[in-house]
Amino acid sequence: MSSGAWTGAAVATVTAAYALGSRRLSTTPISSGMVFVGSGILIGPAVLDIVDLAHDAAPIVALLEITLGLVLFTDAMTVRRRDLRTGGFLPGRLLGIGLPLSIGAGWLLAWPLLPGLTLWELALVGAILAPTDAALGKTAITHPRVPALVRHGLNVESGLNDGMVLPFFLLFLAAIPGTHYAEEGVAGIFWRALVLSTALGLLVGWVGGRLLQWSRAKGWVTREWRHVHLPAVAAGRTNSPS
């Protein structure tokens, strides 16, 4: 069996094993992230060396991109517009005020801690660290002693923060000489990441949703394929040129 096949088998085995015990693990402090990171270390070069990064880098990167896209999409699709207005617009304030301030704070705090980095590299660190996933603190957030409003606000914020930080990440990356995005320039990335990408995302999402509503009204789509349609639209938008 080729190394690529072993890699696929190992990833599938870990995923299937976690699925079998997912409900039991959900009652413990062990999160899915801990399981998969630990499994990655186990099957990686440091321990079992099942995954050969020298030969399997391309399929692993593709798998990571698909997984990340699905995770971000499923997190965001659970958020409704009315969720942003609850608790005096607490989720909206977390995203519109708290998130940019977190990026700025991370930028400033990285300065004395990482003196070898340039100004824009420090900004990149702030952008990377700002959108903390609520799943990392799931045990604390889901605790009944935490006010429901706070739990709801953090859940909504964590579902949208990654997508909102991505344009800042790309802008900071474009400002760093020598990177791939620097060739296009800050102005080009601003146009593509903030303006064009947002417009295309809204258009594709609106058209996909309207088509699904029309198909449901006609009785042409089954319940199972309705769930497939949504990630297919998201995947199509992700791979569209923008």
Domain's final residue, options 20, 50, 77: 77
Contacts of 219 (CB under 8 A, 6+ apart): none
Q: Does 154 score more than 70 pLDDT? A: yes
Mean of pLDDT over the chain:
78
Work out how many domains the chain is built from and give that number: 2
Domain's final residue, options 77, 96, 122: 77
Strands of the chain (E only): list them: none
127: in domain: no
Region of 28 (left: φ > 0; alpha: ψ -120 to 50; beta: rest) is beta
Which helix (H) or strand (E) segment is 19 a member of? helix 3-25
Instruction: Give tens-digit pLDDT for 65-78.
Output: 777 766 666 666 66
Which residue range forms the structural domain that includes residue 58? 3-77
Q: Structure pTM?
A: 0.63
41: in domain: yes
120: in domain: no
- What whole-number distance in Å separates Cα of residue 120 and Cα of residue 184? 16
Query: pLDDT tier at 105 (50, 70, 90 boundaries)?
Result: very high
- What whole-number distance in Å separates Cα of residue 118 and Cα of residue 114? 9
26: in domain: yes
Residue 221 in tokens: 């789509």
Above pLDDT 90, what percent of the chain? 6
Q: Does 50 score more than 60 pLDDT? A: yes
- What whole-number distance in Å separates Cα of residue 48 and Cα of residue 104? 41
129: in domain: no
Contacts of 168 (CB under 8 A, 6+ apart): 103, 127
156: in domain: no
Domain's final residue, options 52, 77, 102: 77
**In degrees rounded to 5, what are phi and psi of residue 46?**
-70, -25
125: in domain: no
pLDDT at position 101, please?
92
pLDDT at position 88, please?
67
Q: Does 38 score more than 70 pLDDT? A: yes
21: in domain: yes
CA angle 62, 229, 81 (to 5 degrees): 100
